[in-house]
Amino acid sequence: MAQQVKRAFRYRFYPTYEQAVELSRTFGCVRLVYNMALEARSQAWHNEQRSIGYVESSAMLTAWKKTEELAFLAEVSSVPLQQGLRHLQHAFSNFFGKRAEYPTFKSKKKSRASAEYTASAFRLRNGQLTLAKMREPLSIVWSRPLPVGVEPTTVTVSKDAAGRWHVSMLCVDTVESLPVTDAVVGADAGIASLLTLSTGEKITNPKFEYRDRERLTKAQRQLTKKQKGSKNRDKARLKLAKIYARITDRRRNHLHTVTTRLVRENQTIVIEDLAVRSMVKNRPLARAISDASWAEMRFMLEYKARWYGRELVVVDRWYPSSKLCSHCEHRSAKMPLNIREWTCGNCGTMHDRDVNAAINIKQEGQKIVAAGLAETQNACGADVGPQRRTPGGQSATKQEGRRATAGIPAQ
């Protein structure tokens, strides 16, 4: 079965000097308009108990362009500025829906420099992308082709901390579901091994941050020695950002490889609901947990399972997967982290801690699926699986929009 999803295709590009200047000005204007609208909305509420929406914010933008001190806003494309206001409206919607914190101001140094163009502000012809207010097309490195017969709905241009320029094209793509299989796998996340599967296989954790830690530490020390505001500090900051970018790119590539393989080989994937935010408060393990990037891996599994017709089952975080014997279900009183192998006191079965946990997670996931299917059949007579719940009360099928690559179902 095929379904349509919104899918982003990101490419590197190398702007000319004029294009870089124009895009940098656009980034600054988008950030300024966002911050001014946020301040206006906050003051209107605190001072007058009055709510300002997108329409009124858009009218304020028109008025700002007519003032002498903000006349430069009219020199860049109006579309990215309007999109910035839409993003602010979306941020407030998430806040009032209790899905996010109150919106914060964008920082020139810390916030992502980006601008979003809708279809009216760009032209894609014969593999050449031209943005509004630009004479020449962008020099894009087409690392992979766009889907045949598909036109981008929006184009987002960004520049990361390492100085790399990217263009992301959001398209409505058709994705074919994978053939149905009976394979079910349980996966236990860890640090020594990134994942331990119920089959007994252990997927190695590359520990990319740990492998580059010496270079990272040296670059951080060099940065602290440079005078603030100097050119040498900017060079040191760029060097440090490139190391971080290298770590992030390699980690993301590895996670894509692992998650794609799991989705292709299994019909049902069972994982544990890990409280990563709480776990990183453990200082001795915080760095290793962050390097493993369990939350990112779960996010990839969620949208890939949704794309390809697979089911991702999330077991409750309080389920004692490590303490239970997968053979007789006897529960041990304690199971410290330093114990990697143990023998069941009831049946005498010897267990590898991680493999045993993965088997328990798989078995619990199968129970959840069976119970859920039974409830659904009794309720409406249809063999339809229930939605899995995730932290914060959101369904796993509704965690959309966190990144353009999430594969949002097309409306």
Q: Which residues are catalytic?
A: 188, 272, 354
Cα–Cα distance for residue pair 14/20, rounded to 1 Å = 9
CA distance 266 to 369: 15
Taking CA atoms, 60 is separated from 27, 65, 67, 184, in Å, by 19, 9, 11, 55
d(CA 80, CA 69): 20
Structural Rg of the chain based on CA atoms: 25
Which residues make beta-bridge pairs with 116?
156
3-state secondary structure of 70: coil
Q: Are 271 and 298 in contact (CB under 8 A)?
A: yes
In terms of Cα–Cα distance, which of 186, 182, 185, 202 is closest to 194?
202
Measured distance CA(205)–CA(226) in Å, rounded:
35
Collapsed DSSP state (helix, strand, coil) of residue 24: helix
Task: In whole angstroms, give the CA distance from residue 153 to residue 293.
Answer: 30
Backbone CA torsion sign across 123, 129, 130, 131: positive
| Residue 185, both tokens | 């796998």
Write the DSSP symbol of residue 398: G
